[in-house]
Structure 1
């Protein structure tokens, strides 16, 4: 069984920028004043240039690799792909490609977060259990097969991240998370994906966070987040108190993206909005990220308090 961390994982924040642009990553870090320590990288089974993509991540920054078990020619929402079923993953159809990806990731010889087959409780990827002819129990079987296949290649530098979508964004009748979780023996961090289009931080995440805290003993991670709209700055100011009030949440990865740059579902970019930048600075400082004094959950009181989930 994977041991629990002897000490809590330090708070951190990460960033996704379009095409993994080093210039955009650096520009964001300068605007916020605190460099991210995690950078998002997306990889498919047949992605070329994995080594180059990892090399583009600045030294001292940990890649958050989202390993998607489908083709580079696939597109978000194209869930009905009979080639990329959960049964195919479990049966070994893609073992050679997975080993090759694992070997290339391992060759980088750097720490990695590996977010495999994320948002499996949705309906927009072929590995989601509710679509593509997939059956109950097959997601867990596929995850465990892939883990057992490439974890020995990746070694101890890699932390495995299991990350469903928040409940608010999934279709009615989505599979229960308990039937999708591979177990703490196979997972190092439990994450989530979730974007806000006008709701508070707490209302966006609490229902899912509460369920995850009952499901697993692992640390939690807001693995893919963003916010749009006129309340963007206010939302970002809430993020720090929210995380302080929920100490199992150790970090977040912000997607500084737009529909034009990535086909995102909203305009989440913040680095050109001074009020949003300042709000994020305040949240980071309150969490002790970037040299500020950390605020404990117990110390968060009053109107600005984060809600404990």
Structure 2
């Protein structure tokens, strides 16, 4: 608000490529080659392949060569190499330390190398949680670089928490930057050996994604299982929902809107934060009105702006919200009926306080938070929640460490993939009109190559500023049926205002009788 499939067997294979057994350093015969995510003995590859190699260099270090992104570097040879998300990053890790390597190319975007360096490090302004040890410029093999070293307190809920950080951003030019991001459970030693070994080489291959994700079997109560089967696994017809803010208190306006559209929306959206308990009365009211709720819990506080309270992720993982979360889970269980539980949506946007933009750029902490809350639900016997994982279609900042895939918590924690892509119009600086076909065909194609779970458009809409909204809606209805795995689509019937209280993004579908008529005609085939 970005790709070929291989088998799960291969995923498991490449995730744990251990290089500790390599010997005869300096001997090409000891080199490991990784071609399109699979280990191979051959050094042959083409520009269409994704190709890496691992070569023993000394008794303690191997050299990792990434021909797809154009670099080489040393790393301790007891660590394992993971190229599963090669298009996004390579991960080299052991039990205590994790090294993530990213390549960013900002050509054609609003970003550049200097903005990347400055914007990525803004979390350090939170001095209460982050202690900066080094923040300096340097040279790495003739290239300009920036080094940031910091730490935070250990988090109580995380075993072997990696709270010591070193981040080196190595600038090839104003568009291209490489990042070596080291996280460790203990103070990082000898990090300059790794950083100083970095060299840029010619790109000769193409990075790819080498995994697919899928839902796992869950213990659900019968009503929720039937709901999941009916709407997401067996349905061959798109179902529609709506966000209408007045529905939080009563259904008078929503009922009148449905009458005018001659359509009953089966899904509605309810937003929540950590300031209010589970809305039992509203959930029962929705259920009694034959509506299912996409319950969106965002780990923030209502009395703060979206970017206040930057410690909240750390506080949550330190157990400060355990009482709230346990009671919340018990209430979900007591409700008993199906809930589409959407936790911390649009996490890859810096407008969300739970984005890793605020927590050391460490997306592992977002995933830890997701699993932490999921496990609390499990401990309280919740069997009526379907977990909806929902990035924005546009990551902002548009940096590889903030790529949506770095936030994926794991198959067992995700039942449904949420898609969110808006046409924001051009009211706000930096935003532009986006047609439906500029957003969803490419997004759907990409997600379909990676995710095997059912999809839903969790919220979307078109602004009125900047183009023909009526045409946008017609185009949407003409094209949305091509996406067979999108089972539910929810229109966000609201308005975003600017700082002076003026409407900036008007997503409402009831701005005129003509607009309502187009929507009514489009919904006819879904009744």
The verdict on a shared fold, with TM-score over 0.5 as the criterion, is yes
Residues 147, 69 of structure 1: CA spacing in aligned structure 2 closer, same or farther, 3 A cutoff? same
Q: Please, which runs of 5 or more residues in structure 1 have no aligned partner?
A: 291-309
Q: Please, which runs of 5 or more residues in structure 2 have no aligned partner?
A: 1-215, 219-227, 426-432
How do 1:235-254 and structure 2 match up within 5 A? 235-254=472-491
Measured in 1, the distance between the counterparts of 2:461 and 2:245 equals 14
Residues 216, 183 of structure 1: CA spacing in aligned structure 2 closer, same or farther, 3 A cutoff? farther
Shift, 1:152, TM fit:
5.1
Single out whichever of 176-185 and 131-140 deviates more from structure 2.
131-140
Measured in 1, the distance between the counterparts of 2:338 and 2:502 equals 29
Q: Does 1:103 align with 2:333?
A: no
Larger-gyration structure (1/2): 2
Counterpart secondary structure, 1:204:
helix
Single out whichever of 12-21 and 59-68 deviates more from structure 2.
12-21
User: Which of 207, 219, 227 is the equivalent residue of 2:462?
Assistant: 227
Residues 239, 152 of structure 1: CA spacing in aligned structure 2 closer, same or farther, 3 A cutoff? farther
The residue aligned with 2:399 is 173
The residue aligned with 1:117 is 344
**Structure with greater helix share of residues:** 1
The residue aligned with 2:515 is 276
Kept in 1, the 8 Å contact 2:329–2:382? The answer is no
Shift, 1:154, TM fit:
6.3
User: Which of 259, 282, 299 is the equivalent residue of 1:69?
Assistant: 299
Measured in 2, the distance between the counterparts of 1:187 and 1:40 equals 19
Q: Does 1:190 align with 2:413?
A: no
Counterpart secondary structure, 1:156:
coil
Measured in 2, the distance between the counterparts of 1:249 and 1:263 equals 34
Kept in 2, the 8 Å contact 1:237–1:282? The answer is no
Q: Please report the RMSD computed on the Cα atoms of aligned residues, expressed in angstroms.
A: 2.6
1:200-225 superposed Cα distances (whole Å, 9 cap, x missing partner)? 11212334333322231111111011
Counterpart secondary structure, 2:329:
helix
Measured in 2, the distance between the counterparts of 1:183 and 1:49 equals 25
**Structure with greater strand share of residues:** 2
Residues 101, 139 of structure 1: CA spacing in aligned structure 2 closer, same or farther, 3 A cutoff? same
How do 1:125-140 and structure 2 match up within 5 A? 125-140=352-367
Measured in 2, the distance between the counterparts of 1:207 and 1:164 equals 15
The residue aligned with 1:84 is 312
1:6-39 superposed Cα distances (whole Å, 9 cap, x missing partner)? 5247521111112424222212211211110011
Residues 152, 203 of structure 1: CA spacing in aligned structure 2 closer, same or farther, 3 A cutoff? farther
Shift, 1:160, TM fit:
0.9
Q: TM-score, normalised by structure 1?
A: 0.82
Kept in 2, the 8 Å contact 1:81–1:132? The answer is no
Residues 154, 248 of structure 1: CA spacing in aligned structure 2 closer, same or farther, 3 A cutoff? farther
Measured in 2, the distance between the counterparts of 1:88 and 1:106 equals 25
Residues 69, 240 of structure 1: CA spacing in aligned structure 2 closer, same or farther, 3 A cutoff? same
Measured in 2, the distance between the counterparts of 1:263 and 1:90 equals 38
Residues 216, 154 of structure 1: CA spacing in aligned structure 2 closer, same or farther, 3 A cutoff? farther
Q: Does 1:266 align with 2:505?
A: yes
The residue aligned with 1:201 is 436
The residue aligned with 1:214 is 449
User: Which of 22, 25, 28 is the equivalent residue of 2:254?
Assistant: 25
